[in-house]
Structure 1
Amino acid sequence: MSDILFSVDNHVANVRLNRPQGLNAITSEMDDALLDCWNEINNNPDIWAVILSAEGEKGFCIGADVSGGAERKSRMALGGGLTGIGGPLVTCKKPMVAAVQGFCVGGGFELAMCADIIVAADNAQFGLPETKVGIIGECGVVHRAIRQLPYHIAMQLILTGERIKADEARHYGLVNEVVPYADLAEAAARWAGKLNAASPLAVQAAKAAVLGRLGHPLEVALMTRFEQIEEYAATEDKKEGERAGAERRKPVWTGR
């Protein structure tokens, strides 16, 4: 079977790391396959949300596979470009849920932080082990950690190499929900359902606006005109939302 599994069901793309024997460490071939996934997700209007998950209870992902010592075939960022580590950044335009279990460390931690929603199994552990083992390289993960966690907690992880458990991660706002491992897939699907209950085009426009001005001062963000939001005003989904409100019913979105 492939080390990356991809399927689409009811407007939800499922991307699954399928190399549990290596704790889902990402090989060059997996990078290539993941890039194909993100391109299909971004370009397919019938995909409205994404679930990123991994096979095996012991680990979500431990980052790049360095066991073989082989050089990467291309300067692709880790995770098919999603992380921006080591190459060009590819942004997933659709809302993404990461379903995390077991070890979620290094580049795997970075991969999870690329998601918009994180659901964690109660056995999940998040960490940045690089300094603890005397390794530090292209470290995009530290920049995400310092933006998504309180300063002192992020620096604790970065400087000591220690891990935090799922409940701690939720306490610090990194994780949206913690569930038993047996319920992880169901919880991720539930979150994807919540995302798809909203207008898919409005959700995508909102995500683009947030990410487009994330690193700018508030006054700059407030003065920015967002083309994707303006384009949404002429869509069928915008009209459907208005009709559904007037008719007091749930809207039926088409993503058009």
Structure 2
Amino acid sequence: MSESEQDIILAENGAVFEITINRPKVNAIDLPTSRKMGQALARFRDDPKLKVCIITAAGEKIFSAGWDLKSLDSGATQLDNWWENEDASLGGFAGITELWNLNKPVIAALNGLTIGGGFEIALACDLIIAAEHVEFALPELPLGMIPDAGAMQRLPRRLPYNIALEMLYLGRRMPAAEAARYGMINKVVPAEQLMTTARQWAAQLAQVAPLALQSIKEVLRAVDGASIRDSFHKMRNDKLPTYREMLRSNDAAEGVKAFVEKRKPDFHGQ
């Protein structure tokens, strides 16, 4: 089942939700598109039938150029304190860069050049698959700006610090193969295999017990930046409702029982 909202195309394939950015020529994102993506991701978050999301874009050359600079230039979108025009409940820019209560995994399937805010969307995803011709760049500095929708926070944690500074200061493009060598992305595939690979990964994740799948992200977020000792303390003592529910769930008991009985488990998210 698929539906079009012009700027984005939404599709449900069983438990997998797909969001396709559809704004030719460069899939730039203005404020209305950002809000539509936020609404789509909130729908994904809140629908128990949906377990995994794939974010991709139309076309073969560009995943996204990020903010729609024409919208900024016309005054339709403001730059000063731009985040105040975003609905905080919808996850900030593009609906994902600050969606802190999304525990379900999101796969970025990058079909082309991933720059500026498009790069920040990719960095906010949990798994990143890129076509072989993909390149990454942050071109904001020559425009008199900095990338402030996640690159400042996330990129130095994904790359060696000085390499991240090369991208931030010099705006140099990084090919997908180099990004994979650094571990910034998960996999590089031929363009014609991009969506097949993303959907295979999504299908595999959709078979996992939902509470266990969502516990991974909840726990990782809770222990981010903590020492190993403090991380254990947080897991044992912090409020982690999905993790706690998982420990008591019928699915956990079913998983153990199915393993002992050498059969496929039947998970229901309970």
> Would you call these one fold, judging by a TM-score over 0.5?
yes
The answer on 1:46 being equivalent to 2:49 is: yes
Query: Given that residues 136 and 174 in structure 2 are in contact (C-alpha distance below 8 angstroms), is that contact kept between their aligned partners in structure 1?
Result: yes
Residue pairs, 1:144-163, within 5 angstroms: 144-163=154-173
Structure 1 unaligned spans of 5+: none
Moved over 6 A (4+): none
Corresponding residue to 1:7 among 5, 11, 19? 11
Amino acid at match of 1:17: I
Q: CA deviation at 1:83?
A: 1.2
Structure 1 residue aligned with 2:93: 78
Corresponding residue to 1:236 among 250, 261, 267? 250
Q: CA deviation at 1:251?
A: 1.5
Distance 1:124 1:83, change over 3 A: same
Residue pairs, 1:32-111, within 5 angstroms: 32-68=35-71, 69=74, 70-71=76-77, 74-76=85-87, 77-80=92-95, 82-84=96-98, 89-111=99-121
Structure 1 residue aligned with 2:261: 247
The answer on 1:129 being equivalent to 2:139 is: yes
Query: Given that residues 101 and 125 in structure 1 are in contact (C-alpha distance below 8 angstroms), is that contact kept between their aligned partners in structure 2?
Result: no
CA distance in 2, matches of 1:100, 1:147: 20
More helix by share: 2
- Give a deviation string over 1:59-89, Cα, whole Å, max 9, x none: 1111111203313592342102x213xxxx4
Q: CA deviation at 1:19?
A: 1.1
Query: Given that residues 20 and 59 in structure 1 are in contact (C-alpha distance below 8 angstroms), is that contact kept between their aligned partners in structure 2?
Result: no
Amino acid at match of 2:18: N
- Give a deviation string over 1:72-121, Cα, whole Å, max 9, x none: 592342102x213xxxx454321111000221011110100111110000
Does the residue aligned with 1:174 lie in a helix, a strand or coil? coil
Cα root mean square deviation, aligned: 1.8
Q: CA deviation at 1:250?
A: 1.9
Segment drifting more, 9-18 vs 138-147: 138-147
Query: Given that residues 46 and 255 in structure 1 are in contact (C-alpha distance below 8 angstroms), is that contact kept between their aligned partners in structure 2?
Result: no
CA distance in 1, matches of 2:149, 2:40: 24
- Number of residues of Structure 1 aligned to a counterpart in Structure 2: 250
Structure 2 unaligned spans of 5+: 79-83
Does the residue aligned with 1:20 lie in a helix, a strand or coil? coil
Does the residue aligned with 2:44 lie in a helix, a strand or coil? helix
Identity %: 34
